[in-house]
Amino acid sequence: MKVLLINGSPRQNGNTATALAEVAKQLTQEGIDSEIVWIGNKPIRGCIACGQCKEQGLGQCIFDDDICNKISEKFKEVQALIVGSPVYYGQPNGALLSIIQRAFYSNGANISGKPAASIAVCRRGGATAVFESLNMPFQMMNMPIVTSQYWNIVYGRTPGDAAMDTEGLQTMRTLARNMAWLLKSTNGEKAPGRPAEEVWQEEPTRLQGKYRSYRGW
């Protein structure tokens, strides 16, 4: 079994990559293969509602001059999907949304019904809005949404910050274990009654020279 992870950041090795790498590492420990695909930092066109993908039965977007079709052709090879995005003005990266909309519309038959999850990475706020936005296409495609111990959010502004978000990374590992459990349970493999759980790690953050919990505010 294999999970496709899409890095929806224009930065290949930024904090979104760190979050996805933590998921991929845990999936490997659970016996699940994964592949991380970066959307790149080149222009990606949005859907123009021409309908040619449907009229011609292409199974892909008629415009083949960016990475969209290269990503959507991987849908048939995987059993699940995880999408990660940075937060821009309380919204997902626009290039990532263009890919999701075009790929799901033109090649939805190869992703519909497969488990999915979204991850939002932010400096401070807007992550829950991004999380909800990314989940909405999954709900239209009959895709079971895999959850974690908290919303799938990791905090970080500059590259490397996410690696210090102890709680966020634990949330990523829990997401991976839950995804692995669901895949095994629905694909004929024997799975335990419920996924193993780590001891809760609540992230301390520096505030005015003292450490306080995010949830202590």
- Domains, the chain, ranges and CATH? 2-216 (3.40.50.360)
pTM recorded for the entire structure: 0.90
Both tokens of residue 26?
A: 């845990």
What are the φ/ψ torsions at residue 161 (nearest 5 degrees)?
-60, -40
What pLDDT is attached to residue 204?
56
With contact defined as beta carbons under 8 Å apart, do 97 and 108 qualify?
Answer: no
Output the tens digit of pLDDT for each of the chain's 217 residues. 999 999 999 999 999 999 999 999 999 999 999 999 999 999 999 999 999 999 999 999 999 999 999 999 999 999 999 999 999 999 999 999 999 999 999 999 999 999 999 999 999 999 999 999 999 999 999 999 999 999 999 999 999 999 999 999 999 999 999 999 999 999 887 777 778 788 877 765 543 343 334 443 3
With contact defined as beta carbons under 8 Å apart, do 121 and 91 qualify?
Answer: no
